[in-house]
Amino acid sequence: MTDICIHGLGYIGLPTATIFAHSGYDVVGFDTNPEVVSTLRRREVHFDEPGLQQIATEAIDSERLKVKSEPVSADIHIICVPTPFDDTKKQADLGNVAAAGRTIGNLLKEDDLVILESTVPPTTTEEVLQPQLEKSGLVAGRDFGLAHCPETVLPGNMIAELRENDRVIGGIDRRSTERTVELYDSFVEGEIRTTENPTTAEFAKLAQNTFRDTNIALANELAMLADEYDIDSRKAIQLSNHHPRVNIHHPGPGVGGHCLPVDPWFLGQESNNLNLVSTAREINDSMSNYTIELLGEELGTLSNSRIAVLGVAYKGNVDDTRNSPGLKLARELQARKSLGVNEVTATDGGIDDIDVRIHDPCVSDQTLDLVPLDEAVRGAEALVLTTDHTEYAQLSPTRMSKLMDGNLILDTMAHLNKNEWSDAGFNYRQI
Question: Is a pLDDT exceeding 80 seen at residue 171?
Answer: yes
pLDDT at position 337, please? 52
Rounded to whole angstroms, how far apart are CA atoms 140 and 149? 16
pLDDT of 347 over the 90 cut? no
Q: Does the active-site annotation cover 259?
A: yes
Who has greater pLDDT, 182 or 366?
Answer: 182
The mean of the pLDDT values for the chain is: 93
Question: Active-site residue among 80, 149, 259, 362?
Answer: 259
Q: How confident is the model at residue 343 (pLDDT cuts 50, 70, 90)?
A: very low
pLDDT of residue 429: 96
User: Annotated catalytic residue: which of 5, 66, 149, 205?
Assistant: 205
Mean pLDDT of 120-133: 98
The phi-psi region of residue 317 (left if phi > 0; otherwise alpha if psi is between -120 and 50; otherwise beta) is left
Structure confidence by residue, pLDDT tens digits, 91-103: 999 999 999 999 9
Q: In this predicted structure, what is the pLDDT of residue 223?
A: 97
Please give the share of the chain, as a percent, with pLDDT higher than 70: 96
The tens digit of pLDDT for each residue in 250-283 reads 999 999 998 999 999 999 887 888 899 999 999 9
The pLDDT score that the predictor gives to residue 326 is 97
For 299-334, the pLDDT digits (tens) are 988 888 999 999 999 999 999 999 999 999 999 998
pLDDT tens-digit map of 192-236? 999 999 999 999 999 999 999 999 999 999 999 999 999 999 999
Above pLDDT 90, what percent of the chain? 88
Of 128, 191, 201, nearest to 163 by C-alpha is 191
| pLDDT above 90: residue 1 | no
According to the model, what pLDDT value does residue 272 have?
Answer: 85
Domains of the chain: 3-205 (3.40.50.720), 284-430 (3.40.50.720)
